[in-house]
Amino acid sequence: MLSANDPQRWPRLGWTLLALALLWPALHLSELNPAGLVAGDSARAMAGFLAGFWPLAHDLAFLALVGRATLETLAIATVGMALAVLLAAPAALVINRALSLSALAAEGRPGPWGGLVRWPLRGLLIVLRSIPELVWALLLVRALGLGPTAGVLAIAITYAGMLGKVYAEILESVGPAPARAILAAGGSRLAAFAYGLLPNALGELLSYTLYRWECALRASVVMGFVGAGGLGQQVELSLRMLAGGEVATLLLVFVLLVTAVDGLSRILRRSLGVGA
């Protein structure tokens, strides 16, 4: 409700009406029609499709295949994230304005070449994260062939762009004064990062990295549909063979895997003191 004592009531109402005005054509262009799921032939087709999910496939040979695909999915997400962090961390240090020598111009330490490095690198990070990991996976599968390597590199490329941007923003949000004081005293950029920024930003950096690891796990399954290995590739094969029981087993395993990763992430956050 709008309160007569709220000075922001009219701007807030205006922004709300503008958002609704923009949402209406978006709903029209998206052709959203949930009723189509339960109308006539669609409902019967959906019921028949779901009926094929029971009973779950549980023969030992298939479960062994599922176990391998599960480990492959976890490996794709973990290795891809590790590579992304290795690429994103140095990039975040370079584009971070808190560690820029040009920020010390007032103290007589200008850095005229800083912008020539930062802005192209920012542009590169934008390109990396603008192209979805699924598109990277499609391109890499064509170049490298079917298998998890394409999935690992697709996650590494896209998530490097995401992590680099967010890491730089987190480092800038903690306050640049300690880092700039170290730089002004003649310290290196690495020392300014390690002693001026990292102690205050470590919790947020770890929390965001763990969150992105969970996202990478989900992305690795989606990329499997284009041949990048893991559970997703096995789901796609089972769907082609109309093996509903196998699909149901794979989906159940994926739900359990995500639940386990979420629990592990919470434990790591608590043990590292970065919240739940």
The one-letter amino acid code at 148 reads P
Q: Which CATH code, of 1.10.3720.10, 1.10.150.120, 3.40.50.720, 1.10.275.30, is assigned to 76-228?
A: 1.10.3720.10
Write down the pLDDT at residue 107.
46
Write down the pLDDT at residue 77.
93
Write down the pLDDT at residue 101.
57
Write down the pLDDT at residue 191.
80
Write down the pLDDT at residue 159.
96
Contacts of 194 (CB under 8 A, 6+ apart): none
The residue extents of the domains of the chain are 76-228
Write down the pLDDT at residue 110.
45
Distance CA 3, CA 13 (A): 11
Residue ranges, the chain, pLDDT below 70:
1-7, 9, 36-38, 40, 98-115, 117, 272, 274-276
Contacts of 104 (CB under 8 A, 6+ apart): 110, 111, 180, 183, 184
